[in-house]
A and B are shown apart, each in its own frame.
Chain A
């Protein structure tokens, strides 16, 4: 087996099919060896910093599919500046693999010398907006293009929020020109954990900036005070999240959509079946719209 050194990938085009899955280690060989009805693949760039066998597989996968680089390590919501080394390594991957989308989260991970490797919550305040905007501006400057920012799942809510999360995400896009990555499962988890209507949230998000959607499964944890939902990416997408997705497709139109699965990996066919389900919803939602428009 040889390392692909000199492959030059063409600039990204929009995926020919809207639905993709996360390319994770257990699926490498099967994804390369079989033909799947998928439009694109997503990876976390952090797993491909450095070199070696992971990059070899990613190069092979990129020959077959369009790619979205979904960051989990930029810590854009930290009050300290985003790591220049991290930005440079991310940029190297963008130059090499020509992804059609690049993204990270409206959250923080780093404080002082510790990077906690979790997507931690921010209060929805002007100070948080200014902090995120400063780091997103820097990242977009290094990347030479706009990125998408994803709404998080959180398990605590701040008492002194100055706006709701949907307004916060809209404002962030206005301030930085960034697009939005709408994670429907996260919205549902948030709505349960913090008590709001997830459909109203989707209605409140501005239409223009939404450039990608995510679907994933969550778990329910029982506590003395009630049930809390945890965004684990370890289960099939739940029914209400599918309903929310249909509402989102009706509002935002056909949008590249990712089936995320990051632990307790099932057979690849399970992910592909989830992707089929998402495509069926897109077909249903857009046909209805077409009929409606023709009336």
Chain B
């Protein structure tokens, strides 16, 4: 058997149901020496290591989901996802794209409709944690722009900035879980209160979250897409006549949301 086929067959076996180890394809099994220790026992070492590594790599990024459903259930979901969507590269730092959508279709999780959005938030936080070490636009740099040129600049958010919108109160749920963990929680959580958009960002080394107004979220979305500042403001004002651009800019300069202008061109 050629090496390419050995690797394809071995991969398929590793990602198959664990029972498949007991009856590996005959031509693959024939590739290996038989000794005192049965082939399924030997193959199981590989399968356990592979499945546990990729499952844990995903599950470890989701501490709030773990607090909500327990490690066992999270592992069940993550393993099911990982076997269908194994990593495509040799770095697991940001593995897990598509997991929120997977949870949406996961029958056993249907009674917890906020789980997919919570997974979106936590995977965004993880991506921010590993985002490139870029620098922020400074007030001096912004101040140096002539007023007549402001409309034409593009204020692009930094690599760590992620926007998450949800109809569920994700920040309240997250706080609730953290308090539970610290054992100081006598509150009950009302998940019927409306959610709000959230910005994930990383001004230095620590990942942070801040709630956004809907107009602010839409504005940042426009800027993320690379729209010129003047165009973006015009679009937002058409929908939100009371949008306060000065306050928006002040807040996001303070949060160090944007990339320097030179990096935008």
| B-binding residues in A (CB < 8 A) | 1-3, 5, 46-47, 49-56, 71-75, 78-79, 83, 85-86, 89, 108-118, 120, 122-123, 125, 127-128, 131, 155-160, 194-195, 221, 223-226, 228, 230
State whether the Cβ of B90 lies closer than 8 Å to any Cβ in chain A. Answer: yes
Instruction: Give the Cβ gap from B160 to chain A, nearest Cβ, in Å.
Output: 8
Decide yes or no: A223 and B38 within 8 Å by CB, A50-B93, A155-B45 being known contacts. yes
B8 and A115 form a contact (CB under 8 A): no
Instruction: Give the Cβ gap from A128 to chain B, nearest Cβ, in Å.
Output: 6
Pick from B99-107, B124-132, B166-174, B231-239 the stretch touching chain A.
B124-132
A86 and B90 form a contact (CB under 8 A): yes
Decide yes or no: A50 and B94 within 8 Å by CB, A157-B33, A223-B41 being known contacts. yes
State whether the Cβ of B49 lies closer than 8 Å to any Cβ in chain A. Answer: yes
Decide yes or no: A2 and B204 within 8 Å by CB, A74-B90, A115-B90 being known contacts. yes
**Bound Cα distance from A290 to B108, whole angstroms:** 69
| A-binding residues in B (CB < 8 A) | 2-4, 6-8, 10-11, 14-15, 30-33, 35-39, 41-43, 45-46, 49-50, 53-54, 57, 86-94, 129-135, 159, 202, 204-206
Q: Which of B10, B42, B49, B92 contacts A228 (CB 8 A)?
A: B42
Q: Which residues from B are CB-within-8-Å of A195?
A: 35
B32 and A159 form a contact (CB under 8 A): yes
Instruction: Give the Cβ gap from A259 to chain B, nearest Cβ, in Å.
Output: 21
A226 and B90 form a contact (CB under 8 A): no
Decide yes or no: A115 and B3 within 8 Å by CB, A53-B129, A226-B36 being known contacts. no
Of listed A79, A89, A114, A127, residue having the most chain B CB within 10 A: A114
**Bound Cα distance from A165 to B135, whole angstroms:** 49
Instruction: Give the Cβ gap from A254 to chain B, nearest Cβ, in Å.
Output: 32
Q: Which residues from A are CB-within-8-Å of B11?
A: 111-112, 114, 116
B38 and A73 form a contact (CB under 8 A): no
Q: Which of B53, B90, B133, B159 contacts A5 (CB 8 A)?
A: B133
Instruction: Give the Cβ gap from B46 to chain A, nearest Cβ, in Å.
Output: 6
A225 and B93 form a contact (CB under 8 A): no
**Bound Cα distance from A289 to B184, whole angstroms:** 65
B36 and A117 form a contact (CB under 8 A): no
**Bound Cα distance from A116 to B90, whole angstroms:** 8
**Bound Cα distance from A83 to B205, whole angstroms:** 29
Instruction: Give the Cβ gap from A105 to chain B, nearest Cβ, in Å.
Output: 11
New A-B contacts (18) at CB < 8 Å, excluding given A225-B35, A225-B38: A1-B205, A2-B204, A3-B205, A5-B135, A49-B93, A52-B205, A53-B206, A114-B86, A116-B50, A118-B46, A120-B7, A122-B3, A123-B6, A156-B32, A158-B33, A194-B33, A228-B37, A228-B45
Instruction: Give the Cβ gap from A229 to chain B, nearest Cβ, in Å.
Output: 10
B90 and A159 form a contact (CB under 8 A): no
Q: Which residues from A are CB-within-8-Å of B131?
A: 50-52
Q: Which of A109, A159, A225, A230 contacts B45 (CB 8 A)?
A: A230
Residue of A nearest to B4 (CB): A79
Q: Which residues from B are CB-within-8-Å of A120?
A: 7, 10, 46
**Bound Cα distance from A133 to B135, whole angstroms:** 40
**Bound Cα distance from A257 to B10, whole angstroms:** 33
